Amino acid sequence: MLSQPLLRLVSAVSRRRMKLLLGIALLAYVASVWGNLINMSVLLNRSIQENRELRIESRIEEIIEPLREKIRDLEKSFTQKYPPVKFLSEKDRKRILVTGGAGFVGSHLTDKLMMDGHEVTVVDNFFTGRKRNVEHWIGHENFELINHDVVEPLYIEVDQIYHLASPASPPNYMYNPIKTLKTNTIGTLNMLGLAKRVGARLLLASTSEVYGDPEVHPQTEDYWGHVNPIGPRACYDEGKRVAETMCYAYMKQEGVEVRVARIFNTFGPRMHMNDGRVVSNFILQALQGEPLTVYGSGSQTRAFQYVSDLVNGLVALMNSNVSSPVNLGNPEEHTILEFAQLIKNLVGSGSEIQFLSEAQDDPQKRKPDIKKAKLMLGWEPVVPLEEGLNKAIHYFRKELEYQANNQYIPKPKPARIKKGRTRHN
């Protein structure tokens, strides 16, 4: 029934029309396939692009993450927590200059003055000091660090001056004796001139070395000393002696308030590792597993004060009314051998103790008389030797670790030479 009209239609449509219809159908089919292909390629492209974007994003993330970490660290350092600082009223807060404040003693003094709530300006030329010693204060509103050589004049407004700028250990002060002399003479004149101009009180960090090779034991402040003015140590010993003379000249002639601390051997964290002194030598030798070198029998005695005791003494002296020189040191004597054994035990070192030939000019005793400090300042050392040594050992151990990777590890220098012989300092 259906085939009749269909046959009629087929026969009615010419061959050409048929071809046209087939062509159209083919075109429609190709177009639909093409459309699908285009759709597919768009989808494919999109997913490739999305993939690529994902990969780029994760790569960017990889690069950015360490940067973010650094920014977080930087932010932390901006909001750095300083050691706790007391609040002082305007009336009690002093503007204090510490020359040599980036050195061993000066940096501990700076810590105390800052924590007591004062405004502290550290002036240092970084000859033997380092920024690391005071970096924990950088950025604090009460603290300022100035890179300046005291041999040049300085103009600032201060109420007190702790004048510590000077190399202190024999290898350091003998390195450039003329500079040591200039620092102790011209530098002290400059600081006294500043004290005079602004009406500040000046404390001079003098030394037990003003007693030279003493004929009096223990040394009292009224002993005038026994110094060789042309020996290798004279640049320091005589430099400090003339610095004391200058202080009293300014006091008498210009009315400048002066305080003079005669400091005896001091030890503690931030002391120089390679200054050739007995404590640093023994600690470094023990930590590095080298023999602890003792010259002679080791029965010579030495007395060392821990740095926090000295700092308390300096502050007590500055704020006292004692203008004459005062000894600050620990009178507790120990033999060199006792020091060696104690340090070896505290380090837990297997190092042996090596006895080297005796140095006949090695002083048998060195000990301060601190009656004056006790009486007039109510000051005396309180830190037990072992406690102080443990802190110094901890510091030296950390320093060795810090330097181990890529830096120079200081070797203990032989004890200083005097008249051609080695001796303990």
Ligand X SMILES: NC(=O)c1ccc[n+]([C@@H]2O[C@H](COP(=O)([O-])OP(=O)(O)OC[C@H]3O[C@@H](n4cnc5c(N)ncnc54)[C@H](O)[C@@H]3O)[C@@H](O)[C@H]2O)c1
Please give the residue ranges that form the binding site for ligand X (CB under 6 A): 99-100, 102-106, 124-129, 149-151, 164-168, 172, 183, 187, 205, 207, 263, 265-266
The half-sphere exposure of 50 on its side-chain side, counting CA atoms within 13 A, is 6
Phi, psi of 186 (to 5 degrees): -60, -40
- Rounded to the nearest whole angstrom, what is the least distance from the CB of residue 399 to ligand X in the complex? 14
What are the catalytic residues?
A: 236
Which candidate, 189, 175, 236, 230, places its Cα nearest to that of 209?
236
Beta carbon nearer to ligand X, 94 or 302: 302
- Rounded to the nearest whole angstrom, what is the least distance from the CB of residue 151 to ligand X in the complex? 5
- Rounded to the nearest whole angstrom, what is the least distance from the CB of residue 97 to ligand X in the complex? 11
DSSP per position, 252-284: HHH---EEEEEE--EE-TTS-TTS--HHHHHHH
Beta carbon nearer to ligand X, 182 or 421: 182
- Rounded to the nearest whole angstrom, what is the least distance from the CB of residue 376 to ligand X in the complex? 20
Beta carbon nearer to ligand X, 168 or 337: 168
- Rounded to the nearest whole angstrom, what is the least distance from the CB of residue 279 to ligand X in the complex? 10
Beta carbon nearer to ligand X, 265 or 422: 265
Q: What is the DSSP letter of 219?
A: B
Which candidate, 161, 162, 120, places its Cα nearest to that of 144?
120
In sign, the C-alpha dihedral spanning 196, 200, 204, 205 is negative
Residues 344 and 312 sit within 8 Å (Cβ to Cβ) = no
Beta carbon nearer to ligand X, 265 or 351: 265
Which candidate, 413, 364, 422, 415, places its Cα nearest to that of 213?
364
